[in-house]
Amino acid sequence: VTPRAILKDPISLVSHEMSQLATNIGSLIGSGHPTLNRIGAYYFESQGKKIRPLLVLLLSRALSEIPLEQRDRLKKIDDLDIPEQPVYPGTKSLSAIFNDPTGPITPLKILHGISPNIMLDPLTKPHESLPEFDHNRGILPKQRRLAEIVEMIHTASLLHDDVIDNSDSRRNRPSGNIAFNNKMSVLAGDFLLGRASVSISRLRNPEVIELTSTSIANLVEGEFMQLKNTILQPDEDLIEDNTKRIPKPTGAVPTEPHEYSVRLPDSNGKIHTITHEQNVDAAFEYYTHKTYLKTASLISKSCRSAAILSGARDNVIENCYQFGRNLGLCFQLVDDILDYTQTSEQLGKPGLADLNLGLATAPILFAWKENPALGELIQRKFKQDGDVETAIMEVHKHDGLGKTKELAVKYRDLALQNLREALPESDSRSALEFLTNAVVTRTK
Ligand code: FPP
Ligand code: MG
Ligand code: MG
């Protein structure tokens, strides 16, 4: 790859690894049931941004530029071959999954053992001992596997997310819940997580296992925080499912809209009145924490894991983690802007989804700061006629999108700073800087 080509497309540095990604993931997600194979592979068939594996691979490459004497030898570079992954019985190329020549499984086939899909999972081979140290450079097998794991976890969360959000499209195709159905999408997501967990454990690195597993739990926590906005609804008065909204019999803690203050119970049940400013600050804090859990945690913990696997020293590991955290927060802020500005066609998934789902993201929080009356709309999740339209108008009137962009740029700059502190100058580091900048300027 020539320097000019890198400048034009920095991603070309890892294009070989990226082209292997789908194939490798394909080998990890074969199952005993052809339909599960189809749903499990469904989102990998279409072109996602693949930003998470791209980051892991570029970061791993950049970390390999750190001279060995500057790495922590006591920790050893954790690069060596991963114990061989079992070849799952349903494993086929992704396109073959869609044209399974044996067709759907039938009792007759099971009886006659015709379908290879009904074999049991092969037993895991015992783990071979790994040499202490290795002088290989470049992306390590475990880091490559980490990139695959991260994309599998992300894809599992998308299958679940599209059920929760009742979406109809993803990556310019019908979303999993539409192409199949809710139940199958949920199960396929669970299946991907199960297989990702097998691969995580086979990395044989306790710290990385802990980080990656925590990021799965964080995704769920973040999604839950989004579902239950406890700052504005201290006593949630609605039970939701995809289609109905059922009032809960117990009453909500009343707010006093004319004072634009909110009454919140503390842990002893004592009610406190808080000011509009405090309320907005609390909502931003809640939103940021939710965003960390929902988006930045997976990115930051996988960046941290890539650094750990490279044998990097603590300050490098910490900067890689902070890089992922800042970039993840930036990424989601931009996502929340694009939800307002782009059409469903441009996004390949529903646009203006957040307001319609009742979600108050940064743009409307900035508008609410200027116009306290918006608190009522936020609280009732934009459910009254005209609420969504009013919210959009107010976002534009108070430059909610511009202010959100400004915040995204702040996180981008912090991320760029982390890169410079963690990594020596290299073409991979430049590619990471390019990618970091592209997160802000992207249009989908
Ligand atoms: C997309 O958000 C969704 C996420 C970033 C995470 C969703 C997490 C879960 C559904 C919890 C379950 C997790 C696992 C690992 C099974 P979005 O709806 O704002 O974005 P979108 O516009 O792309 O749909
Ligand atoms: Mg969604
Ligand atoms: Mg969602």
Tell me what pLDDT residue 314 has: 93
As a whole number of angstroms, the distance between CA 148 and CA 142 comes to: 10
Which residue among 150, 219, 297, 332 is best mutated to probe the pocket of ligand 1, counting the most ligand atoms within 8 A of its Cβ?
219
- Which ligand has the shortest distance to the CA of 335? 1
Which ligand places an atom closest to the C-alpha of 158?
1
Say what the pLDDT of residue 117 is.
Answer: 37
Degrees to nearest 5, angle at CA 330 with 328 and 332: 70
Structure tokens at 244: 């109905």
Give phi and psi for 189, each to the nearest 5. -60, -45
Helices (H), 342-399: 344-347, 353-356, 362-370, 374-379, 387-397
In this model, does residue 77 exceed pLDDT 80?
A: no
Res. 81 pLDDT band, cuts 50 70 90: low
Cα gap 347→341, rounded to integer Å:
10
- 106-120, 263-277, 296-310, 329-343: least confidently modelled range: 106-120
Of the chain, the percentage scoring pLDDT greater than 90 comes to: 57
Name the residue type at position 18. Answer: M
Q: How far apart are CA 283 and CA 404, in angstroms?
A: 14
Distance CA 367, CA 289 (A): 20
For residue 296, the 8-state DSSP code is I
Q: List CB contacts of 80: < 8 A, sequence separation 6 or more.
A: 130, 131, 134, 140, 141, 142
Q: How many CA atoms lie within 13 A of 304 on its CB side?
A: 23
Q: Please report how the helices 51-63 and 15-28 are oriented relative to each other, as an axis angle in degrees rounded to 10.
A: 120
Which of 301, 310, 297 is CA-nearest to residue 428? 310
The predicted pLDDT at position 7 comes to 53
pLDDT score of 129: 37
ipTM: 0.98
> Residue with the nearest Cα to atom 17 of ligand 1?
161
Q: For residue 247, which phi and psi values (nearest 5 degrees)?
A: -65, 135
Residue nearest to atom 14 of ligand 1 (CA): 157
Centre of ligand 1 to C-alpha 380, Å, is 22
SS3 per residue for 123-151: CCCCCCCCCCCCCCCCCCHHHHHHHHHHH
Answer yes or no: are the C-beta atoms of 264 and 271 closer than 8 Å. Answer: yes
- How many residues does this entry show for the chain? 444
Ramachandran class of 329: left when φ > 0, alpha when ψ lies in -120 to 50, beta otherwise: alpha
Residues 99-140 have pLDDT tens digits of 544 454 444 433 443 333 333 344 444 333 333 334 445 888
Residue whose CA is closest, atom 15 of ligand 1?
Answer: 157
- In this prediction, residue 96 carries a pLDDT of 52
Put simply, whether the predicted model's pTM sits higher than 0.90 gets the answer: no
Q: What is the mean pLDDT of residues 207-221?
A: 94
> How far does the centroid of ligand 1 lie from the alpha carbon of residue 359, in Å?
13
Token representation of residue 282: 């609390």
pLDDT of residue 137: 54
Residue of 177, 223, 226 to test ligand 1 pocket, by largest number of atoms within 8 Å of CB: 223
Digit-coded pLDDT (tens) for 278-322: 888 888 988 999 999 999 999 999 999 999 999 999 999 999 999
**Beta strands at 238-240 and 173-174: parallel, antiparallel or unpaired:** unpaired
Token couple for 315: 């300050």
Question: At residue 236, does pLDDT exceed 50?
Answer: no
Atom number of ligand 1 nearest to Cα 295: 5
| Position 425 pLDDT exceeds 80 | yes
Q: Please tell me the residue having the least CA distance from ligand 1 atom 16.
A: 157
CB neighbour class for 46 (10 Å; exposed up to 12, middle 13-18, buried from 19): exposed
pLDDT of residue 414: 98
The stretch 56-67 carries a mean pLDDT of 94
